[in-house]
Amino acid sequence: MANYIHVPEGAPTVPKLDVTLDEHDYRAGALKLLKTLRPHWKPSEVKTKSFTDGITNKLIGCYVGGSMQDVVLVRVYGNKTELFVDRENEVKSFRVLQMHRCAPRLYCTFNNGLCYEFLQGVALEPEHIRSPAIFRHIARQMAKYHAIHAHNGWVPQSDLWLRISKFFSLAPTHFDDPEKDQRLKSEVPSTACLRDEMIWLQQNLSKLGSPVVLCHNDLLCKNIIYKQQEDVSLPKSLHLLHRAIATDWRCSVCPARTPPGPEMSNSLTTNMLGTIIKPLTLGITSMNLQV
């Protein structure tokens, strides 16, 4: 129960549709979903747009008309991602965040994916998140996540190290393809080296006493949607888990290739803590999660 996500009473229910999408020919399956979700749409008029920034999942936007005002996002899970991602927890996360107006509307789940609301805005780039006007919005929105109590009385504990260990057990140590195998050996540190680094991190970070809170855990730049003069959104929620608060922004929003300077680090911390202590109206709508 250490990382249990509790869905409170009154949270929106999510229908499960018995539909399976072929990731290589998704249109037929998507139209079956839309027959329930948008029964007034004519199948012949449905247009699709593929989003290509995800690493393992396939994401398709379905809409009608000349503009993308009402878009149903269809996410097809990547092959064998269920070995690492808890899909039941993903749906619970969506529902919890919807209750707190921190996530897009989840329309349904289906056998190998889910459908949810499309949020208008611009997916950010590394240079954007270094702007004080934007990263302060991001920090405040993250603080809203951190302030959500989704453990129903249980004392939340981080399972970060357990999950990293599980990832190591699933990660390949070699490939049959000689080119891939050579790239793995030349560009990726050995499993033993990575495990040593994990142990070092665990020994040092566990001493900090950082509060364990509900974290986003996947704040890649492209997973942050910005609507100018309004707010920032973090729509994707499948990695919502209890983790040490410090790991959420330092490891996610600030990638190694664009480390934050002292001003950015201090401002992120100040804005997160200020929001937790005194909630405010944000210039951010939600944040997005994508594997």
pLDDT one-digit tens code per residue, 35-62: 999 999 999 999 999 887 667 788 999 9
Distance CA 141, CA 136 (A): 9
Backbone angles phi, psi at 12, to 5 degrees: -60, 135
Distance CA 40, CA 118 (A): 18
Distance CA 256, CA 156 (A): 28
Question: Cα 233 from chain centroid?
Answer: 11
283 pLDDT band, cuts 50/70/90, is very low
pTM above 0.85, yes or no: no
Q: How long a stretch of residues is the chain?
A: 291
Query: pLDDT tens for residues 107-151?
Result: 999 999 999 999 888 888 888 888 888 888 888 888 888 888 877
Hey, how many other C-beta atoms are within 10 angstroms of the C-beta on 255?
14
Distance CA 195, CA 175 (A): 20
pLDDT (0 to 100) of residue 270: 53
Q: Two tokens at 211?
A: 């509060």
Question: What strands lie across the sheet with 122-123, from one edge to the other?
Answer: 122-123, 225-227, 231-233
| One-letter amino acid of 150 | A
CA separation (Å) from 124 to 207, 239, 248? Answer: 33, 19, 17
Backbone angles phi, psi at 290, to 5 degrees: -155, 130
Tokens 């109206």 -> residue? 281
